[in-house]
Amino acid sequence: MINLVLLSQNVKEQQILNLALTQQGLKVLLSEPSYQNFVFIMQYMPDIVLVELPHLCIEQLNFTSRIRAYKRTRLLPIIGYGNKIDPSLRRGMLNSGITIYLERPLKYSELLALIQRLLKPFNKTIETKPPVSEKEKDLALILSPDALPMQKVEAMSKHIYRLLAFPFTIAKVLQITNNEKTGASHLAQAISSDPSISAHMLKIANSVFFASSNRRISSIKEAVIRIGFEETKKITMGMSVINLFSSSNKNLGFDRTDFWYHSLTVALIAERLAKMMGDISTEEAFLAGLLHDLGILLLDEYFPTVFNEVLEQATKSAGRFYDVEKTRLNVTHLDLIGELFPRWKIPQQITDAIVGHYIAAGFDHPPEPVNEKLSVCVTLGNLFAKLIHSGRECDEYVTPVDNILMTTVKLPHGLPRTFINNIMMQVMSTRAFFGLEEREYGGDCPDNIDPKSIRIGVVNPEAAVIVPPSINLENHGMQCEIITSGSVGRIPDEKYHAIVWWSQKPVNPETIAPLTRLRPAALGTNATPGTLPILLFCPDSARPERFPGCSVFNNAFDLRVLESGLAAILSASTIPESLQGAA
């Protein structure tokens, strides 16, 4: 199915185009040309974009320029349409990223032919829309605003439980782990009960990575000894879960390989943090990290219509998938986990850790029970995985965490680069064992920006150990320098390209005022002139008018909103002078 994003402010025309294109078999996603909906484009990666260009279209052209700046979307066909314009304006639009411009009145047959022509180089074509099947009773119940949350969870869990049996192998591995008297022979016996994993473990043991002395391994026990007890447990648990699901994607905007990379990264970070804490099971932390978002995958697998509706709303609002679930369905994927895992005999502390990992992000006290400590490992694993861009799931939403959590996991001074590099090396080495296709992740910047040349000043009044925007920008390769509160008024002109102000408390506008009069460091001859860009992250972001001259964000936010906003600020001007004059 061809996926088309339609950006239009003309409601009547939008409705007509939406109906006509949907009837032709296209999946039409409605959006608007804004920073927030730039996230929408990056999440859904449509096949083509159709955008209305009104007389005042600076916002629309800035939007298309941002799309063109990124490698992932550089070749995306963008059809612009609007009223008749003179040739100079048309050239300006084409220079700003529009592939082709159509003048009203639109001829539907010509539009379809043009879409077919633009899709041909990508080996894509418009196909007949498959017939819509009748909704199941369970689906209607889940989407009903009148049904009780417990009814919805029961409907979902019963449906899944009938169709899916959780791997017996994981229970056996955890049982072996928790018994000091067990060893390689017991682990080999547990693995041997699963033919698929047994075959894979023998293949790994005889791979170039582990092979030695040209001696071929033929028994599972020998494979365990060669690979190592700890690594074998990790690989077995990971494969047991991943093999439950096909690798084929069911919903646009949700890539299962990206999901597993994210889950694997969270698992490896949670395992490392548990080891640093020293008083909880590293195997349980690894498994909790690996399974922390399994409920999302279950929704995608068994209730794709529900999943797609929530994902689309979350992406359009640049919100958190979990929050939209709560608002739209009154239940979440964590409620589903809380119902299913006890039936599958998953240890209660792992279930509690996963179900409570969003709550753990708000802890302002040292965690005490095992489940709380595991929750902290999962919470920080999820946060760090997003900040370093390892894999993707349904959002890139991050929230502030109290310094007490970092002290708990023995990282009181922040997230060292060596920690990140070590985790990424583990992800890459473990990837092959799980059979995941090779992917490259990391921060993406527009081509006209050399991230290493960008200097960002970071103001952190409350001395937060974790400053998500700073970690995220450093992961893009930018230089971030801490500015103490006392030196804010003494920053010279042209030292920084932008300022990030991170506050977990309400901010007094007067403390920001000295920065709004500074000039930014030069980006080159084509740099956008103006005052120093200030990106303010604070709890009182609902009143941006209190902070003139600042781009104001909530300190719980989707990282792609930050990236889009910063790219627009730092990029050279993309609107031709002739077009600026017309606007």
Whether residue 377 has pLDDT greater than 90 = yes
Name, in order, each residue with C-beta under 8 angstroms of 543's C-beta and a sequence gap of 6 or more. Answer: none
Distances (CA, A) of 327 to 21, 149, 312, 324, 450: 30, 12, 13, 5, 41
Tell me how far apart the alpha carbons of residues 351 and 340 are, in angstroms, rounded to a whole number: 9
- Going by pLDDT thresholds of 50, 70 and 90, the confidence category of residue 444 is low
pLDDT single digits (tens) 81-133:
999 998 899 998 999 899 999 998 888 888 999 999 999 999 998 876 555 44
- Report the 3 state secondary structure along 203-252: HHHCCCCCCCCCCCCCCHHHHHHHHCHHHHHHHHHHHHHHCCCCCCCCCC
Give the confidence band of 562 by pLDDT, cuts at 50, 70, 90. Answer: confident
29-59: b (≥16 Cβ within 10 Å) or e? bbbebbbbbbbbbbbbebbbbbbbbeeebee
Closest CA to 235 of 186, 269, 191: 191
Among 416, 431, 362, 359, which residue's Cα sits nearest to residue 384? Answer: 416
pLDDT at 467: 95
Going by C-beta distance under 8 Å and a sequence separation of 6 or more, which residues neighbour residue 581? Answer: none
Helices and strands: H and E segment counts in the chain? 27, 12
In contact, 379 and 464? CB cutoff 8 Å: no
- Which two three-digit tokens encode residue 219? 């028994």
* Residue 537 near residue 500, CB atoms below 8 Å: yes
Alpha carbon of residue 533 to chain centroid: 25
Examine the pLDDT at 50 and tell me if it is beyond 90: yes
- List phi, psi (to 5°) of 519: -95, 145
Alpha carbon distance 113, 125 (integer Å)? 10
Q: pLDDT band at 80, cuts 50/70/90?
A: very high
298/292 Cα distance (integer angstroms): 12
Strand order in the sheet with 78-82: 27-31, 3-7, 48-52, 78-82, 100-103
In angstroms, what CA-CA distances link 83 with 52, 106, 118, 575?
9, 10, 22, 19
At 292, is the pLDDT very low, low, confident or very high (cuts 50, 70, 90)? very high
What is the model's pLDDT at position 526? 46
Give the count of alpha carbons within 13 A of 93, CB side only. 29
Task: Give the helix/strand (H/E) hosting 82.
Answer: strand 78-82
Angle at 270 between CA 248 and CA 243, to 5 degrees: 25
Query: pLDDT grade, residue 174 (50/70/90)?
Result: confident
355: Cβ contacts below 8 Å, ≥ 6 apart: 334, 335, 337, 338
**Which pLDDT value is given to residue 360?**
92
Average pLDDT over residues 357-374: 92
Model confidence at 36: pLDDT above 70: no
pLDDT digits over 269-287, tens only? 999 999 999 999 999 999 9
pLDDT above 90: residue 459: yes
% of the chain surpassing 90 pLDDT: 43
C-alpha pair distances (Å), 284 with each of 183, 185, 191: 18, 21, 18
State the pTM of this model.
0.80
Q: Could you give the angle at which helices 256-277 and 417-434 cross, rounded to 10 degrees?
A: 130
Average pLDDT over residues 459-477: 92
Kindly state the helix (H) or strand (E) to which residue 498 belongs, with its residue range.
strand 498-502
Q: How confident is the model at residue 213 (pLDDT cuts 50, 70, 90)?
A: low
R_g (Cα) of the chain, nearest Å: 26
For all residues of the chain together, what is the average pLDDT?
Answer: 86
Q: Six-digit token pair at 309?
A: 């509706």
For the chain, domains (ranges, CATH) are 3-122 (3.40.50.2300), 149-166+245-442 (1.10.3210.10), 167-243 (no CATH), 451-577 (3.40.50.2300)
pLDDT band at 563 (very low <50, low <70, confident <90, very high): confident
Q: What is the pLDDT of residue 496?
A: 92
pLDDT score at 200: 83
Whether residue 583 is predicted with pLDDT greater than 60 in this model: the reply is: no
Q: How many CA atoms lie within 13 A of 379 on its CB side?
A: 27
Place of tokens 């694993």: 381
pLDDT at 397 over 90: yes
Report pLDDT digits (tens) over 524-557: 544 445 678 899 999 878 788 889 888 889 999 9
- Cα 349 from Cα 352, distance rounded (Å): 5
Average pLDDT over residues 366-382: 95
pLDDT of residue 531: 78
